[in-house]
Structure formats: C-alpha cells, structure tokens
Chain A
Amino acid sequence: MFTIIRNTLRKSRGSLTGWGIGLAALGILMGSMFDLIFATDEMMDVVNAYAVAMPELAVMFNMDAMGTPIGWLDVEYFSFVPLMIGLFVTGIGANMLARDEEDGTLDLILAHPVSRTSLFWGRFLANTLVIIVLMLISWASLLLTMTWSENFIIPAFDLLLPFISLFGIIMFFMTLSLLFGMLLPARSMARMLSGMLVGASFFITLLSGVVEDLEPVADFSPLSYLETVNAIRDGLNLNWFGMFIAINLVVTLIAWQLFQRRDIRVGGEGSWRLHNLKTMFVKK
C-alpha cells in the first residue's frame, strides 16, 4: 500500500503545487486586506450603506460581521473557497480509480501482487492527505498574515475550526464523486454530476438566507453545515462533523465494495448498464 500512496502523491505533485500556491496567495491577500478595510472608516460606511440599502444582500453575505477578522473571512473567503475546493475535490474523487481504468493503466497495475483493497485505500489515503495539506496551507497562509497584520488576529486553533468543518464537507463531495466514478460509465460524467451537486449546494445555501422557500431544501445542502463564525464563537458542532465523517465513511465503503466486485475494463469508457448495483451484495 505504501508504494501506491507514494505513487499517488507523486502524481498529485502538480495539482498540489498549483492549488497550494493559489490558496496560499488567496489567504495572504484576504488576511492583508482586512487591515485596509479596518483602518478605513469610509469602507465600513460603504458596507453599512449596503446593509441599509440592500438588507437581503447583507443577510446573504453576513455583512454585519465584516468588521471582525472572522466575519471578514466569512464574507470574503469562506463564501466562495468551499465552492472552489469543492469543485477541485470532485475531480480528485472521479479520477481516483476511474481515470486509470479509462486510460487502461489499471489492468497492468492489478496484474501485480497488489490487492484491490490496498489499491483503493492507498489511493484514498493519498488523496485525503492531499486535501488535508491544502487545508493546512490555507490555514497557515492566514496565520502567516497575522505576523505583520495589526488587526487581523484570530487564535491559531480557533482559525483551524472552520477548516475542520470545511474538511468534513469537501470530503463528502470527494467521496460522492468517487462513488459516482464507480457507478457511472465515464469519469467525466461522475465529475460533472458531483460538480453540479457542489454548485447546487453552494447556491441553495447562499440563497436560503433570503428565500424562505429554500430553507427546507437547505437542510439537505452540505454547505449549509459549514461553520465559520459559529465554530469560533461556540466551538465546532461535533455532531455535524461526526455526521459528515460517518456519511463519508459509508459512501467510501460502498465505493470500495463496488471496486472490489468490478470487472476491470481494458480501457475506455464503460456502458450505462448499472449491473454493479445489482451484484453489489451478491457474491459472484
């Protein structure tokens, strides 16, 4: 399994570097901008004017809290970073095994003395590690900003809590995409479907603050459970986090079972037959 993990990490170097630099730059930019906003009364006046003129918009983006570091991050950082990373992890999930199968490289790998279980969990652990590293880079880049910022100050552990909450949610999107990769005939479809779910979750969560009719739907939207200000003020809701970890585990176990029982294709995309579902719990 160690060889699989190492090989997977090696293949992820490019995306890890690219996304790592991007997220670090974003973190530093957002952290640094807070001083600018905080030190300029006119800017706060503009924000307050928004709140009066467009109260719905103010509620949607939680503008009341913009004057505090975490409030600022909530509005300017955590409002769109989950969408970005969510879309990225759907690619990771869909590609995890389906890409090798479509490329035809899985055939030769599985002809070696490596079990499907080792391959699956080796890849899963390596990709989870990539996501954790990206979360830590994002967190560390914001911490780094605090070394020169006069006003952007959040205790390191407190700042970690929103990222822990985000991790549980984006792992859900990753595992879901992995599952779709095992169920659907092509990884592009798996990626597209899970990407659509990320987008739907983002917009439903965003709009549910102003459109009352969307509130019941938002209960089923994973991003509604992202904790930022609340996590720092009241502590992380461990029930929600535990729920996501449990769901992620179940989804991953189903994907693992599907991979165990899968006929490995020589290459290319598969067909639309969903016979895997039928045979999932039937021993061949």
Chain B
Amino acid sequence: MNHSKAIEVKDLVKFYGKVKALSGVNLEVKRGEIYGFLGPNGAGKTTTIRCMLDLIRPQGGSISILGLNPKAEPEVIKARVGYLPGELHMDENMTAKQILRFFNHLRGNRSDWEFIEELSERLKLELKIPIKNFSKGNKQKVGIVVALMHRPELLLLDEPTGSLDPLMQQEVLRMLVEARDNGATVFMSSHIISEVQAIADRVAIIRKGIIIEVVETSALLKRSMRKVRIRFQQPTEAEEIYKLPGVELIAKDDSMGVSLKFEGEMDTLIKTIAKYPVNDFETEYASLEEIFLAYYEGQEDD
C-alpha cells in the first residue's frame, strides 16, 4: 500500500447476511485533497466509511488508512481521524460542552479548547444546552465540532451538511476547505451533487456497492445534468435551443413554456436563450437518481 495515499481501498466486499452491500469497492484518496463520495441512498457510502473505521468488518478486500490497516491498528488510526456519522446520536442528557469534553477525554485531551470554542462560535452552537433540547441541525453542529476539534489528518464525513440550513452548510464547507488548506484530507459522502461539486477536488460515484466512476470535479461540472424551465414572453418556436448539443426537450407546457434536460456548459445555452424574450428562467441540478438513471439508460442502450 502506498503511504502517500490517505485512503486506499481494494476490492472491498461486505455482506449483511445474504445482502451484498459492497461488491468490490476500489478507492484511492490522495493526501491533502477533498474527495467527494457520491451515491444515492443505500449505495454503500456509509458501509464503506464504517469499514474504514473498523466499526464493521468486510468479508473481502483490503483497506489502508494513512498507511495503516484499520483492523490491525484501529486506535492509532482513530486518533488521527475525525469522523462524523451519517446517523448522529449522542447521550441526550449531556450538554454539548459535556459531550465535547467527553470525546476530548477519549482523545487524551489533545484538543485545544480555544479552537473548540472558535468552531462552536462559527457554527453558532450554544454549548450549555442539553443535547435533548437541540434541533437536528444543532446536533449535527456538535458532531461537526467533534470531528474537527483535534485537527485530524483525515476527516471521514458521512453527509456532513445534512440537516443544516443553507448558511450553515456554506460555513461547514468553508471549514472543510480550511482543514484541507491546513493539510488535512477530507473524505465526504453525500447524495447532493452540488455540495460535493462546491469543494471537492475529485469525486467517486458509487451505486449498488460498486464504484462506477471517479472523476475530477471540473469534469463532473461540465457533465452535470440540469433541469431547465423557460417561460417566454410570447409564443416562441425556439428550435435553435432544442438542437444545441446536450439539450433534450422534455415537454412543452404550452406555446410559451418549455422544460429541458441539459448536460454540458451552461454558457452556450444561456447565450442562445438570450436571443429570445424571456419572462422566467429556472435551472436546477438533476438528482443523483436521475443522473444514474440517465447513465444506466445509456449503458443499457449500448
């Protein structure tokens, strides 16, 4: 195994009873990069991460985390890793401060309390309130501080911005970029494509326990499918738009409105639409499921 890699996973296989959750996952994450791990629900993202931390044991394959084997040296690895579970649960009777102190004790008091307070302030986290009185978003903030507070070399984050409001999502993503800039490696799973695109250097896409693709984020951006809705000011036959590469006409609502699927660089599309008088223009990323559906339809056609 190559020690310049933060994570190296080879042919990872995991069964839950007779159900095959991972069917030979292969991953290589370089030190100092932000690596997005995308996949729909049930694709195997959480299972992969939990195998990395020796919380569950795979039936096949090998894992190297920071050059170490998680099964042979789990505590050494965990001392250098920050983890945020996808399903975060903490002792509800403790306050956020008690939780942070407890986990800091488990790490041998390695964390700098000023840094913990700084992280908490940035996330607007009230430390004196018992966890049971927290909203889901506030619990998530505690989890993020727990993961970051000891300035780990590697961050394993399972859907880190789920339950957070958009402003806090941006703050967390900034924190992850700062951690990367300070030398940490960030491995984050998500099923939200835009979140990963915002900060990741590379992205692996997993579906049904198999990595189907590893791409540079810039390439993913170019290829990302979007849904576009246009409302013209007057009845318009905009054939020029529908003939653009990457455009697929889904529906014409009436003579003034159209819905499209678009894959490619937005610049060309926007400039073409601008030739017409437009009343409204909406665009959104397609969900991962829609992307996978399109991807597999293409494969099956082949």
Interfacial residues, chain A to chain B (CB-CB below 8 A) = 3, 7, 11, 103-105, 107-115, 261, 263-264, 266-267, 271, 273, 275, 284
Contact = CB atoms under 8 A, between A and B. Distances in A.
Interface in B22-74: 46, 50, 53, 55-57, 59, 71, 74
Interface of B: 17, 46, 50, 53, 55-57, 59, 71, 74-76, 78-79, 81, 83, 85-91, 93, 102-103, 105-108, 143, 146
Nearest to B49: A111
Contacts of A108: 83, 85, 88-90, 103, 143, 146
A113 B75 contact: yes
B89 A112 contact: no
A37 to B, nearest CB: 44
A38 to B, nearest CB: 46
Contacts of A110: 53, 55
A264 B76 CA distance: 19
A110 B74 CA distance: 10
Nearest to B110: A113
Contact of A263 (B57, B103, B107): B57
B55 A111 contact: yes
A104 B78 contact: no
A261 B71 CA distance: 11
Contacts of A266: 46, 50, 85-87
Contacts of B79: 113
B85 A112 contact: no
A263 B17 CA distance: 12
A114 B46 contact: no
B75 A105 contact: no
Contact of B87 (A7, A113, A264, A267): A267
* Majority-rule SS of A interface residues: loop
B156 to A, nearest CB: 8
A111 B65 CA distance: 13
Nearest to B86: A266
B57 A111 contact: no
A107 B106 contact: no
A109 B106 contact: yes
Contact of A271 (B17, B57, B90): B17
A105 B108 contact: no
B60 to A, nearest CB: 10
B143 A7 contact: no
B85 A107 contact: yes
B103 A104 contact: no
Contacts of B106: 3, 109, 112-114
A115 B75 CA distance: 6
Nearest to A107: B85
Nearest to A3: B105
A104 B103 CA distance: 16
B87 A107 contact: yes
Contacts of A264: 50, 55-56
A275 B107 CA distance: 32
A189 B159 CA distance: 33
A275 B59 CA distance: 13
Contacts of B102: 3, 7
Given A107-B55, A264-B56, A11 B85 contact: no
A266 B46 CA distance: 9
A172 B212 CA distance: 52
Contacts of A114: 75, 78, 106
A104 B92 CA distance: 11
Contacts of A105: 89-91
Nearest to B89: A104
B100 to A, nearest CB: 12
B17 to A, nearest CB: 6
Contacts of B81: 111
